[in-house]
Amino acid sequence: MAATSSCSLNFGVKGKGKPEQPFSSSKSSQLLFSSNLSFAYNNTKYCLSLHSHQTLLSACLTKTKNSAFVVASAKPEYLKIMISGAPASGKGTQCELITKKYGLVHIAAGDLLRAEIASGSENGKRAKEYMEKGQLVPNEIVVMMVKDRLLQPDSQENGWLLDGYPRSLSQATALKEFGFQPDLFIVLEVNEEILVERVVGRRLDPVTGKIYHLKYSPPETEEIAARLTQRFDDTEEKVKLRLQTHHQNVEAVLSMYEDITLKVNGNVPKEDVFAQIDDALTKLFEDQKLTSGSLAA
Mean per-residue pLDDT over the chain, rounded: 76
Segment 76-119, tens digit of pLDDT: 467 999 999 988 899 989 999 999 999 999 999 888 888 888 88
Write the DSSP assignment of 189-213 as a string of letters. Answer: E--HHHHHHHHHTEEE-TTT--EEE
Closest CA to 76 of 98, 53, 99: 53
pLDDT tens-place string over residues 194-205: 999 999 999 999
DSSP states of 247-283: HHHHHHHHHHSGGGEEEEE-SS-HHHHHHHHHHHHHH
Crossing angle (nearest 10°) for helices 109-119 and 122-132: 120
The 10s digit of each residue's pLDDT in 253-293 is: 998 999 999 999 999 999 999 999 999 999 988 877 766 55
Q: Is the whole-model pTM more than 0.85?
A: no
Kindly indicate the confidence band of residue 164, based on its pLDDT and cuts at 50, 70 and 90. confident
Calculate the CA dihedral of residues 243, 253, 178, 295 and round it to 10 degrees: 130
Query: Which residues are known to be catalytic?
Result: 91, 167, 202, 231, 242
Note the pLDDT of residue 286: 83
For the stretch 204-225, pLDDT in tens is 999 998 989 999 889 999 999 9
